[in-house]
A and B are shown apart, each in its own frame.
Chain A
């Protein structure tokens, strides 16, 4: 791009930018536009709050439905106790048979 073209482009671009910025400024100060944008922002924030709450509830329910590590540990202890009892009964039965 030669200097002449760049000079012309700058002049045109500056003029365009000023006009566009002025129009943008008017638009973004308009109460109607701001009210509409504000409502949309509030609506999306409220939706996000609901989604977050749903996710949290779902997570808590899943967590509640899943046995906790403490419960798993107790189950394992019971299982071991039952196995010990079974072994003891078998030993007693063997002893009775021998008598």
Chain B
């Protein structure tokens, strides 16, 4: 440790101090620039419920494919990671494939959401949003794409209401929670009292969650500062950088009761993979899912380790199922430099093949 401190001192003296100062002074303006870049794909808000919004993107093809797609982000992360900038937009790529895309924006949880249960998010908010998309599109069943926690929630929904889902994409949604990932270690009941945390704080503040995320690899910020310094004259880099900086700091609070169940039933007791997870006392058996499904994992994912995502592919009974393991990380798989060649086209082709004919 002493050796590392000495090395840091030497780096600081050989130019890092100036780079760090430049980076920290620019923080506010970087995020401000990011605000103007994210979520720019044209869309209409077609449904709201409290802070939840449902966006319907303007199709880019004259006749979009019949079966619409609804994207479900994590409860705590902003939806616009899937529409980061006009150049780095998963939504844009799917629209180019002729997909009719809807997006669920959970909105920032407020004090009133503290007592909303995890089950209510699935059978209440999600069900009503999906019901709206089915009605709006005139399709009895829709495609679901869940990212991160949204992938796990989409899997639960498909198990509960299989007739409403034509196809399912689990994008980096963890299903097994007992792995060697850092969150699996940090959330063990031996040292994390989830009840005490929720009973004291209510909703878990976004700032606290952000601090936790940053603590996974706090030293990485030094490399970010150097990247910013070296490429400060590259407009394309600055756009991506600003949008990502905004997104990583824009975490919503985790609604208290939903957090309690997510941590205790998933991370601490790993009930989902064991078939002991329940929604309103109804057991969820993922092995009974027969919906066409695409599971996408990332080999360098430190949030949802790829084996813990890929197990979904092994569990389900769908005759039409595919597993894709990408050489990237949890966020890079969606918005990284390789996303436009690795993820977007393969996802677009898989979906397009299962989204029916173009609408007349």
Interface residues in chain A, defined as those with a beta carbon under 8 Å from any beta carbon in chain B: 1, 5-6, 8-10, 12-14, 16-17, 19-21, 23-25, 28-29, 31, 34-35, 37-39, 41-42, 45-46, 48-49, 52
Contact = CB atoms under 8 A, between A and B. Distances in A.
A76 B2 CA distance: 74
Interface in B1-16: 1, 4, 7-8, 10-11, 14-16
Interface in B193-217: 193, 196-197, 199-201, 215, 217
Contacts, number: 91
A14 B223 contact: yes
A19 B4 contact: yes
Given A9-B16, A13-B226, A41-B192, 13 more contacts: A5-B14, A6-B229, A12-B11, A13-B223, A14-B223, A17-B222, A17-B223, A28-B185, A29-B182, A34-B188, A38-B192, A41-B197, A52-B200
A19 B217 CA distance: 11
Contact of A16 (B7, B197, B230): B7
B18 A1 contact: yes
Interface in B224-238: 226, 229-230
B218 interface: yes
21 contacts: A1-B15, A5-B14, A6-B229, A9-B226, A12-B7, A12-B14, A13-B11, A16-B11, A16-B222, A17-B223, A20-B219, A21-B217, A21-B219, A34-B188, A37-B191, A41-B193, A42-B196, A45-B200, A46-B196, A48-B200, A49-B199
The size class of the interface chain B forms with chain A is 20 to 34
Contact of A9 (B11, B197, B219): B11
B342 to A, nearest CB: 24
A39 B197 CA distance: 12
Per DSSP, are chain A's interface residues mostly helix, strand or loop, or mixed?
A: helix
B23 to A, nearest CB: 13
A25 B182 contact: yes
Per DSSP, are chain B's interface residues mostly helix, strand or loop, or mixed?
A: helix
Contacts of B10: 12
A28 B223 contact: no
A38 to B, nearest CB: 3
B190 interface: yes
B186 interface: yes
A35 B185 CA distance: 11
B220 interface: yes
Given A1-B15, A6-B230, A29-B185, A21 B191 contact: no
A42 B193 contact: yes
Contact of A45 (B197, B217, B222, B226): B197
A14 B7 CA distance: 12
A24 B219 contact: yes
Contacts of A20: 4, 8, 219
A47 to B, nearest CB: 9
Contacts of B201: 45
A9 B218 contact: no
Contacts of B199: 49
Contacts of A8: 14
Given A24-B217, A24-B219, A16 B4 contact: yes
B327 to A, nearest CB: 19
A23 to B, nearest CB: 7
B15 A28 contact: no
B200 A34 contact: no
A9 B15 contact: yes
B215 A28 contact: yes
A38 B186 CA distance: 9
B250 to A, nearest CB: 24
A17 B8 CA distance: 9
Which interface residue of A8, A16, A28, A39 has the most chain B CB atoms within 10 A? A16
B223 A34 contact: no
Contacts of B8: 16, 20
